[in-house]
Amino acid sequence: MEEVKKEKNEIWEWAKALLIAFGLAWLIRFFLFTPIVVDGESMMPTLENGDRMIVNKIGYDVGEPNRYDIVVFHAPEQKDYIKRVIGLPGDHVAYKNDQLYINGEAKPEPYLDPFKKEIIEGTLTEDFTLEELIQEEVVPEGYVFVMGDNRRYSKDSRHIGVVSMDEIIGSTSVIFWPPNEISIVK
């Protein structure tokens, strides 16, 4: 009788521990961090198709995106996109001769250097101004201008417009799969 009681008590303790573990895992995934799989080539050479990353969901609850952050956001097609923040609220964004200009000042994009070296003909990023794309002089308050690193093959703010900060899920910089690519990207 006492042995049956001990066995039931042990089963109950294990069940409670598992419930707590699953509950904590759900809370962490829902509120703090979530995995995402890179789908497509729009962020190459920085990110490869199939890379698995961790999305930090709490960073922008306490702060704002920074220029060059890699963010995940809900896109118009009911799909999540991974892109790089190029323009912040109040920024004038333009591209001329493969050079990024923010508020008239040339800005470096070292993450594009490996890709630019491979370009034989033309430029990686075609010329544009914000006015041509969204009919605004600056990125509106509450929005960001995003672009993929693979500029020739990226559906980004040049096509879908500026992204509301309310649509941003979080930032990502940690690749955890495949194992030979585990790294922090910038």
> What homologous superfamily is domain 38-184 in, according to CATH?
Umud Fragment, subunit A (2.10.109.10)
**Percent helix / strand / coil, the chain, rounded to 5:** 35, 30, 35
What value does the mean pLDDT of the chain take? 80
Q: Could you give the CA distance from residue 84 to residue 56 in angstroms, rounded to a whole number? A: 15
Q: What is the pLDDT of residues 84-132, one digit of tens each?
A: 999 999 999 999 988 899 998 999 988 888 777 777 777 788 888 888 8
At residue 2, the pLDDT reads 65
Average pLDDT over residues 175-180: 71
**Distance from C-alpha of 102 to C-alpha of 67, rounded to nearest angstrom:** 10
pLDDT at residue 101, rounded to an integer: 92
Percent of the chain at pLDDT above 70? 80
The predicted pLDDT at position 166 comes to 85
Helices (H) and strands (E) counted in the chain, each on its own, are: 5, 12
pTM as predicted: 0.76
- Reference 73, options 2, 156, 140; nearest CA is 156
pLDDT recorded at residue 59: 67
State the Cα torsion 77-57-68-78 to the nearest 10°: 0
Query: Where are the domains positioned within the chain?
Result: 1-33, 38-184
34-53: pLDDT as tens digits: 777 777 778 877 877 878 77
Catalytically annotated residues: 42, 83
Residue 26: per-residue pLDDT: 62
Report the pLDDT value the prediction gives residue 185, as an integer from 0 to 100.
76
